[in-house]
Amino acid sequence: MTEQLRLMAVHAHPDDESSKGAATMAKYVSEGVDVLVATCTGGERGSILNPKLQGDPYIEEHIHEVRRKEMDEAREILGVKQEWLGFVDSGLPEGDPLPPLPEGCFALQDVDEAAGRLVKLIRTFKPQVITTYDENGGYPHPDHIMTHKITMVAFEAAGDPECYPEAGEPWQPLKLYYNQGFNKPRTIALHEALLERGMDSPYGEWLERWKQFEQRERTLTTYIPCADFFEIRDKALIAHATQIDPDGGWFRVPMDIQREVWPTEEYELAKSLVDTSLPEDDLFAGIRNN
């Protein structure tokens, strides 16, 4: 294929693009691939997770604007394009029983109607490959699960001229992947590598809680070598200052250990309209030479 390669990553909130598949995107940008992040919500209901910024009245009052600026900075660091789909953050309900979701939020939208915005973006950008979350959302946040739902609808509908005729000329993406960077083999490998070196591991509790978030083991089909871009990934993540503590658990594994023990980011191939051989080391496998 001599046509420009294009990758679209569909995420729920600003910061998700930097914690899930960021090194992969930076790698493809370096190779000349056109990469677009579609951000479903503005992250308006996200908690301020960085303890250094908690209690700041300006941030609390202007969280929507602050998170947009953080996204702008992360986008520049990664070298990607980015578009907002314009939905309102649903928040993460907590308690027993769980409280109802806020009226008008993303997770309460009609799936087919909401997918129309993504169909329009797909038909405009024309990606061959799309990445998003699995049916569990990666973890059960209502916005992540809704992101999965609208992406599945949009992947099928974007190429159908009878669907969403107002959204532009049809375009059929060829492959759809689920982000699976937070997978059990990677977590175990890094955990054991740290313990073998006599170091504390941040992953002990993750492994204990694993069954809460995952109903079954995922199938990892695609391993993207991107260790050279881990530092860019971390810089983009730190740009989301309200969400990420630079002294927190995200950054406790030394970079040299990460690169040595687990130098890839992982994906699960969910749909493919081209022939490919598994496992893959390229999201565009089966596309580049067709």
Contact 175, 271 (CB under 8 A): yes
CA distance 169 to 134: 27
Query: Tokens for 74?
Result: 């992360």
CA distance 169 to 151: 18
240 is in an annotated binding site: no
Q: Which residue has the tokens 């740290």?
A: 194
279: preceding bond cis by omega (within 30 degrees): yes
13 is in an annotated binding site: yes
Task: Say how many CA atoms lie within 13 Å of 154 toward its Cβ.
Answer: 32
Query: Tokens for 124?
Result: 């405009």
CA distance 281 to 159: 26
148 is in an annotated binding site: no
Q: Minimal CA–CA distance to 180: which of 212, 229, 213, 228?
A: 213
Query: Tokens for 11?
Result: 């995420």
Contact 145, 135 (CB under 8 A): yes
CA distance 48 to 244: 9
Contact 36, 80 (CB under 8 A): yes
What 8-state DSSP symbol labels residue 146? H
Q: Which residues are annotated as a binding site for Zn(2+)?
A: 13, 16, 144
Residues making up the binding site = 13, 16, 144
